[in-house]
Amino acid sequence: MADWHEITGGITAPRGYRAAGITAGLKPSGLPDLALILSDVEAIAAGVFTTSQVRAACVDYCRQRLQAKQNARAILCNAGQANAATGTQGWFDALESAMTVAQALNIPSESVLLASTGVIGQRIKMDKLKAGIPQLIAALSETGSDAAAGAIITTDLVPKSIALETTIGDRPVRIGGIAKGSGMIHPNMATMLAFVTCDAVVSPALWQQMLSRAADRSFNSITVDGDTSTNDSLIALANGQSRTPAIIEMGPEAEKLEAMLTAVCQHLAKAIARDGEGATCLMEVQVTGAHDETSARQIAKTIAGSSLVKSAIFGRDPNWGRIAAAAGRAGVPFEQENLQIKLGDFLLLENGQPLSFDRAAASAYLKQAAAGAYLKEDTVLIFVSIGNGYGSGKAWGCDLSYDYVKINAEYTT
């Protein structure tokens, strides 16, 4: 039983945060495209970023800022232009963006973190961004989470948001989050942005450790299409406004806080996978019997990322051979006579031996998941066991449809 419960409010549910999202004219569509998250006080800041060698200016900016100073007040995010592979001028644009917000808020520029999303190779439309900053700040609100969530998306079909509450030291502690992502999604991390706020009091080193572990169990365990982006950013703030006892080392209270942080990240990660471009259903792969959690997650991610598995799911074909093949090439040693595969309630393979099963019923199970798209009933569950080890792990993905090609063939046009 979880030690927390879901609440409303998203990114502004924790105490001491405001957010806003506006239309600044950065997107050709005229949809909202500029978001700001602000803590009333300096907050402990942590981040996890793309592993790509081709990185957006905002990623390098945030890495430098967090290495020098592990706190922040604000996160500015623009949608429409990725500001990646934009050279020296793209870097200067990032600096100017932070400076513009900082001056308008009367805070140090190093207290502003940045994120961008959109087309690679395109600089931010700085004239429009700077002109929109006063309106953005004026729109800041303790109920501004939904507006911010809507302003950071690109090809997403739906905004992604969550907030949870628990009790630490007899006082409520909250964590909220918003995210965007739909395509170019693959560990490590994905073309995704995620912003998390928390009102607990936690040490900088511990907050970073918690976030890194939560990322491994969530955003680093999803895949849509096997492509890693230039802009992936997960940024988390903890501003201490809950007035709870300080958490400075691992223990029961730290474990509770990390578990809730992981739950927030997993909810957002699954929402991204569920909203995969052209997807009709969410896939959850659960692997058990491995030597350790890392090995189990590696197999789960390989299965979830297999184009053949994803295509079979879209075709409503219970082709367990593709699942077995993906598990076998994951780079994790195991004896194939120990392999077991289940699709939902259908046991397809046991002790490395194929079993008779109702193929029509298994196909109907996949069709039912597709019919429940964007609902909790849309998840295709794949269970794989490779032995008797204690290691278990999960990964999430989506099916691969005709629409994925159509969406990405026309993305810049």
| Domains identified in the chain and CATH numbers | 5-274 (3.60.70.12), 282-409 (3.10.20.340)
Record the pTM: 0.88
CA distance 341 to 354: 9
Partnered with residue 44 across adjacent β-strands are 71, 238
Contact 96, 56 (CB under 8 A): no
Q: Is the dihedral of CA 79, 83, 89, 92 positive or negative?
A: positive
CA distance 76 to 136: 10
Continuous segment of H or E residues that includes residue 130: helix 126-138
Catalytic pick among 100, 154, 191, 262: 191
CA distance 113 to 37: 10
- Residue keyed to tokens 């912003």: 195
CA distance 338 to 332: 13
Both tokens of 402, joined, read: 């005709």
CA distance 262 to 273: 16
Q: What pLDDT score was predicted for residue 156?
A: 80
Q: Which residues of the chain have pLDDT under 70?
A: 1, 182-191, 224-229, 276-278, 371-377, 407-408, 410-413
Strand order in the sheet with 379-385: 353-354, 346-350, 340-343, 379-385, 282-289, 389-398
Q: What pLDDT score was predicted for residue 169?
A: 86
CA distance 10 to 87: 35
Q: Is 191 a catalytic residue?
A: yes
Please name which of 144, 143, 72, 142 lies closest in space to residue 114, comparing C-alpha atoms.
72
Number of Cβ atoms within 10 Å of the Cβ of 366: 22
Q: What pLDDT score was predicted for residue 394?
A: 96
Q: Is the dihedral of CA 48, 32, 79, 18 positive or negative?
A: negative
CA distance 127 to 125: 6
* CB-neighbour burial class of residue 368 (10 A; exposed 0-12, middle 13-18, buried 19+): middle
The CA–CA distances, whole Å, from 261 to 1, 88, 167, 361, 378 equal 16, 36, 13, 38, 24
CA distance 152 to 373: 22
Please name which of 50, 106, 107, 111 lies closest in space to residue 82, comparing C-alpha atoms.
50
Please name which of 82, 161, 16, 133 lies closest in space to residue 411, comparing C-alpha atoms.
82
Length of the chain: 413
- Residue keyed to tokens 């999803």: 222
CA distance 13 to 238: 13
CA distance 302 to 296: 10
User: Do strands 353-354 and 34-49 pair parallel, antiparallel, or not at all (unpaired)?
Assistant: unpaired
CA distance 301 to 332: 12
Contact 272, 234 (CB under 8 A): no
Both tokens of 244, joined, read: 């709870």
Q: What pLDDT score was predicted for residue 205?
A: 97
Report the b/e string of 101-138 with b at 16+ CB within 10 A.
Answer: bbebbebebebbbbbbbbebebbbbbebbbebbeebbe
Q: What pLDDT score was predicted for residue 374?
A: 41
